[in-house]
Chain A
Amino acid sequence: MKRLMMVLSGFVLSAIFSGPVENARAGEKGMELLMSRCASCHNLHGPAPTTLSGLWARKGPDMFYAGNKYRKKWLISWLEHPVRIRPAGMFYADHVVPGPERDVIDTSTLKAHMALSPADARLAAEALMSLRGHDDLISKETVPPGSISKSMGALVFDKFLGCIACHRIEPDYGGLSGPELYTAGDRLRPRFMASYIRSPQAWDPKIWMPNKHVSDSRIVQLVHYLQALSKGGSHG
């Protein structure tokens, strides 16, 4: 009886402590994965570039605030099946050449992102979610739940603010020098979207997205619009 009690208490103790220990091990493995396979292209520690040469040299988006930027579910899925988000690459001018009607993307210069196995994608996403740079900026934002019609959202996005110049809101509609936004609602966290629109330079001092001094109410409308875009349908 005494021995049985000891075995049972052993099980109980292992059940209590194995979860956190395993999580810690998974966290370590995830960070090792980031360091070995991601760090050569992604900045995991910050800060963002403060010079044009630093900006131009960047091979992939900064990840030191990934946990504040991305939705984990999207990260896992994207890392398994990566699809290009920036049509003209990380720095558009390196991948654009003069064409007969306008500058065009030289797709031969673009490199595809590697795909991870499902297990590695989960580990990497878990580790990325622990990178929480710019918590201070996120804590300033509140995005109340709500919705906007796509036609009203398009009016704000396109006519009032001119965001369409650089961003695609459908796979073949919009500008090319910025990341596409038709999957932004699935990809990005609402408070990150709000904060980045409010001041792109607070996140990325030399980025080629301007600060348009968008009002609080317009920021909320834009976030709701981007969320609506991810739910499918046309821009009209």
Chain B
Amino acid sequence: MGRVPVLRTILLSLLIGATAMPGTALAASAKDNYRTYCAQCHGLQGNGRGVNIRDMSVQPRNHTDAEYMSTRSDQDLFTADQKGGLAIDKSVLMPPWGDTLTSAEIRDMVQYLRTLCHCKNNAQ
């Protein structure tokens, strides 16, 4: 390896390191975000059977339920995720994730939900 490629590699590493400085929240995949934030209630398998549900007065949505999920628009799913259940007249137990996830991450999450239900919104 010549000197120039080595320098280029070092500069690239520094650049990558700079973008990972403390305080910078790097974008995460929707699957990883689901495992971190959603699975506690909606379940590791997305079936609405999370570890928290036993004492919840309203049970979390089963994201693999294609029949129900196809009745919800992508915008509804986005709003519920960003602003919480109350924003779409659903339960307060669904919290707002707008201070945790970016808009881009929530858009990715909506698409991830569509892969869990293997469905689209029928009205769209």
Residues on A facing B (Cβ under 8 Å): 47, 50-52, 55-56, 88, 92-93, 96-99, 101-105, 158-162, 164-166, 173-177, 199, 201, 205-206, 208, 210-213
Contact = CB atoms under 8 A, between A and B. Distances in A.
B36 interface: yes
A103 B50 contact: yes
B92 A210 contact: no
Given A102-B43, A166-B40, A206-B36, A92 B91 contact: no
A50 B96 CA distance: 19
Interface in B45-71: 45, 49-57
Q: How big is the B interface, by class?
A: 35 or more
A51 to B, nearest CB: 5
Interface of B: 20, 22-26, 28, 32-33, 35-37, 39-41, 43-45, 49-57, 84, 91-100
B92 A160 contact: yes
Contact of A177 (B33, B45, B52, B97): B52
Contacts of A212: 84, 95-96
Contact of B44 (A98, A161, A173, A174): A98
23 contacts: A50-B22, A52-B33, A93-B39, A93-B40, A96-B44, A98-B43, A99-B49, A103-B50, A159-B92, A166-B40, A175-B41, A175-B52, A177-B40, A177-B51, A201-B100, A205-B25, A206-B25, A206-B100, A208-B36, A210-B84, A210-B96, A211-B98, A212-B96
Contacts of A104: 51
A210 B100 contact: yes
A92 B36 CA distance: 9
B76 to A, nearest CB: 18
B26 A51 contact: yes
Nearest to A97: B44
